[in-house]
């Protein structure tokens, strides 16, 4: 089948994990034994950084095999690393969870976690981690077809690998660059990087990856119509894969070889290697490859039946590569009628499997070739039935593809994201701000309308897309003023969000002193302008410390750290943000006097529930006793002072100077210990 003709063996969807190496196809073979070994040792591990590494390896090992298990161990890894306050471990965990989301094709969530990992790696100067995240983000761009951005990420990965002297990573980054050039049909550049990678893997003695690169070189040569060179490198790859017992990838290479022979119109050899691929696919339970091999065998039989020069069923020459016993068992018939019967039988077998695994585009190809085979036998009734089925599925696939395009256009009008606008070219920390997920809720719902009016308006929507870009950019910021990026991504993906409980957060409450009296002194316009100026600065300061603004209530300002993303330093970050806010207001009051306000600040740490309330003018909010207690801390504070609870004090006492105020009565809370930040 067309999907199997060129089997690219170094998969860009493979992910870089803690080890820093490129997870190629052969590592999947080692996956389950490695996982079993780790699971056996895991209960023996102490609650330390070594256990974080064990959990990281388990999450990475399960990632391709069982993503749900990969997510479970990634979250356990994140919890333990956060508990230990180990920044590198938190970055590893964020990368692990991002990998799972990428495997699940949830690119929005994957980018959120990759951004978290990247930020920590940059703060700690961990270059290897920065390179790994660049590679994984590049993989997302490949999935989305943005090859220039992917190439940029892989070149960043390659540069960092060079700087750290990591030969495995250099080879992996090099092959990635080659694959991008392959996707762009720049085969000379692709081959240039493939041969560089091949030399590196040969020097490293890495036979597995050496075989994979040989396979990809064969693909490029085949597409350049240099068939003998293509076969030369394909056979090198096949020999290694057969020696290693890697039947899954060996089957794919056999499909490549069969495709190259078919391109040369050597259909007998194409059948030989499709049969070999079929045998291995059946042994490994790979139904997609099984279906592809059967359909391609049928197509080759049809081609032979059309060839009036067919004189003999014997296959000569390089057929010996398959083995003499195999040749005797599966000879090629010379009779045209038998060839067509074999073609129909093979394609029908493929069709049964295609229906079972539900791949309409594969079924379409089967019906197309069945129609040809029946027509050649003179059975025009069955040929017509097959052709009708072909056109029905083709129309269905066409409709689905176009609907998806329209939906994508609509989704871009609803929730488009600005991703990686600064491509990590400098070492400045401001780079992290370039990784954002921003989505906009479209007021016109063009995507939904486009689906209903697909036939008449698809061209119109494409034409109008440029005009809607301006609207999207205008409302881009509005979404994240309402929702955190992770929550916005969840809302876009599922259409809803669920309230979540967060155990370790710190809540900040601020209030302006004598705001009512100030309102009497100032004009309404001046009052609003001053509030806006103050709150803008608060937003800037809280953003600096990863504190999530929740809302303003009149002259009060509510924010929280530790959600929706866990932050082991949530209390310290909130207190440091409060210190800057207080200093800003004191300086402003000294300059403006009665034209501005004095401020009280209260802080408390604990647990909250967070989620979206309402369906119209919805808002992201937090609830719980922690919020109420933070408000009481603010009410019992004084102008120009930051009042914190005993719970928060215990979390920051070793890092921030505080003074004990004693036990103070708090409305509705009783007597509570309180501290001023000095």
Tell me the pLDDT tens digit for each residue of 459-478: 444 455 555 555 555 545 55
- As a CATH number, domain 502-677 is 3.30.70.1230
φ, ψ of residue 514 to 5 degrees: the values are 55, 40
* C-beta separation of 488 from 480 below 8 A: yes
Confidence of residue 617 (pLDDT cuts 50, 70, 90): low
Confidence of residue 17 (pLDDT cuts 50, 70, 90): very low
What is the per-residue pLDDT for 470? 54
3-state secondary structure 470-537: HHHHHHHHHHHHHCCHHHHHHHHHHCCCCCEEEEEEEEEEEEEECHHHHHHHCCHHHHHHHHHHHHHH
Average pLDDT over residues 551-577: 91
Residues contacting residue 370 through CB under 8 Å, at least 6 positions apart: 344, 347, 348, 351, 382, 383, 386
Q: Which helix (H) or strand (E) holds 175?
A: helix 167-183
d(CA 469, CA 10): 36
What is the per-residue pLDDT for 104? 83
Q: Say what percent of the chain tops pLDDT 70.
A: 75
* C-beta separation of 267 from 310 below 8 A: no
- Among residues 54, 58, 84, the alpha carbon closest in space to that of 71 is found at 58
- Distance of alpha carbon 98 from the chain centroid: 6
Residues contacting residue 493 through CB under 8 Å, at least 6 positions apart: 106, 108, 109
CA distances from residue 507 to 16, 148, 498, 540 in whole angstroms, order as listed: 36, 42, 21, 17
d(CA 376, CA 481): 65
The neighbouring-strand residues paired with 549 are 559
d(CA 369, CA 390): 9
d(CA 301, CA 310): 11
- As a CATH number, domain 1-244 is 1.25.40.10
What is the per-residue pLDDT for 388? 86
What CATH architecture applies to the domain 265-378?
A: Alpha Horseshoe (1.25)
Write out the DSSP string of 261-326: HHHTT-HHHHHHHHHHHHHHHHHHT-HHHHHHHHHHHHHHHHHHHH-TT---S---GGGGGT-HHH
Residue range 640-669, pLDDT digits in tens:
999 999 999 999 999 999 999 999 988 878
Q: Where do the domains of the chain lie?
A: 1-244, 265-378, 408-482, 502-677
Q: List the single range of 89-93, 368-372, 408-412, 607-611 with lowest mean pLDDT.
A: 408-412
Sign of CA pseudo-dihedral 478, 482, 487, 490: negative
Angle of the 49-65 helix axis to the 87-103 helix axis, nearest 10: 10
Average pLDDT over residues 285-290: 88
What is the per-residue pLDDT for 107? 85
Q: Assess whether the region 1-244 and the region 265-378 belong to the same CATH fold.
A: yes
Q: Rounding to the nearest 10 degrees, give the CA dihedral for residues 332, 333, 336, 337.
A: -120
Write out the DSSP string of 7-33: ---S-TT----TT-S---HHHHHHHHH
Residue range 415-452, pLDDT digits in tens:
333 333 333 333 334 443 443 434 344 333 444 444 44
The CB density around residue 676, as the number of other CB atoms within 10 Å, is: 15
Confidence of residue 413 (pLDDT cuts 50, 70, 90): very low
Q: Reduced to 3 states, what is the DSSP secondary structure of residue 657?
A: coil
């Amino acid at each position: 089948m067309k999907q199997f003709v060129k089997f690219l063996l170094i998969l860009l969807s493979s992910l870089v994990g803690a080890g820093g190496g490129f997870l190629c196809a052969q590592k999947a073979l080692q996956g389950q034994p490695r996982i079993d070994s780790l699971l056996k040792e895991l209960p023996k591990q102490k609650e330390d950084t070594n256990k974080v590494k064990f959990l990281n390896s388990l999450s990475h090992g399960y990632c391709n095999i069982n993503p749900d298990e990969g997510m479970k161990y990634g979250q356990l890894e994140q919890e333990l690393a956060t508990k230990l306050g180990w920044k590198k471990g938190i970055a590893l965990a964020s990368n692990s969870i991002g990998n799972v989301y990428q495997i699940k094709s949830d690119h929005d969530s994957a980018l959120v976690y990759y951004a978290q990992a990247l930020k920590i790696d940059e703060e700690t100067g961990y270059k290897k981690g920065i390179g790994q995240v660049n590679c994984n983000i590049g993989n997302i761009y490949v999935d989305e077809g943005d090859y220039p951005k992917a190439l940029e990420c892989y070149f960043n990965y390659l540069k960092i690998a060079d700087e750290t002297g990591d030969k495995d990573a250099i080879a992996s980054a090099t092959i990635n660059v080659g694959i991008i050039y392959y996707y762009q049909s720049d085969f000379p550049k692709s081959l240039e990087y493939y041969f560089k990678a091949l030399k590196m893997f040969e020097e490293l003695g890495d036979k597995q990856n050496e075989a994979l690169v040989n396979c990809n070189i064969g693909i490029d040569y085949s597409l350049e119509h240099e068939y003998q060179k293509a076969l030369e490198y394909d056979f090198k790859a096949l020999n290694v894969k057969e020696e290693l017992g890697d039947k899954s990838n060996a089957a794919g290479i056999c499909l490549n070889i069969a495709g190259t022979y078919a391109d040369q119109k050597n259909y007998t050899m194409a059948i030989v290697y499709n049969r070999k691929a079929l045998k291995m696919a059946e042994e490994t339970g790979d139904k997609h490859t099984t279906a592809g091999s059967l359909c391609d065998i049928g197509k080759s039989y049809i081609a032979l039946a059309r060839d009036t020069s067919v004189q003999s069923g014997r296959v000569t020459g390089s057929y010996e590569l398959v083995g003499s016993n195999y040749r005797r068992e599966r000879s090629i018939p010379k009779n045209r009628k038998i060839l067509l019967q074999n073609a129909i039988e093979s394609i029908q077998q493929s069709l049964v499997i295609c229906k079972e695994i539900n791949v309409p585009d594969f079924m379409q190809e089967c019906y197309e070739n069945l129609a040809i085979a029946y027509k050649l036998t003179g059975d025009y009734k069955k040929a017509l039935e097959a052709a009708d089925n072909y056109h029905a599925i083709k129309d269905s696939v066409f409709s689905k593809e176009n609907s998806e395009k329209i939906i994508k256009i609509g989704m871009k009008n609803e929730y488009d994201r600005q991703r990686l606008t600064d491509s990590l070219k400098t070492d400045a920390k401001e780079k992290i701000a370039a990784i954002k997920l921003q989505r906009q809720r479209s007021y016109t719902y063009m995507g939904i309308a486009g689906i209903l009016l697909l036939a008449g308006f698809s061209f119109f929507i494409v034409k109008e897309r440029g005009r809607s870009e301006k609207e999207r950019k205008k409302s881009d910021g509005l979404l994240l003023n309402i929702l955190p990026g992770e929550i916005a991504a969840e809302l876009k993906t599922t259409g809803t969000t669920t309230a979540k409980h967060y155990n370790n957060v710190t809540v900040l409450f601020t209030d302006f002193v004598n705001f009512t009296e100030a309102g009497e002194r100032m004009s309404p316009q001046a009052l609003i302008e001053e509030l806006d100026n103050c709150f803008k600065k608060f937003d800037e300061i809280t953003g600096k410390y990863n504190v999530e603004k929740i809302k303003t209530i009149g002259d009060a300002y509510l924010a929280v750290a530790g959600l929706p993303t866990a932050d082991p330093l949530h209390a310290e970050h909130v207190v440091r943000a409060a210190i800057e806010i207080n200093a800003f207001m004191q300086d402003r009051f000294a300059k403006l006097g009665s034209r501005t306000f004095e401020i009280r600040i209260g802080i408390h740490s604990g647990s909250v529930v967070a989620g979206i309330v309402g369906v119209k003018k919805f808002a992201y909010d937090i609830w719980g006793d922690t919020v109420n207690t933070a408000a009481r801390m603010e009410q019992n504070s004084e102008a120009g002072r930051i009042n914190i609870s005993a719970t928060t004090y215990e979390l920051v006492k070793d890092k921030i100077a505080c003074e004990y105020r004693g036990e103070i009565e708090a409305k509705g809370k009783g007597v509570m210990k309180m501290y001023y930040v000095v």
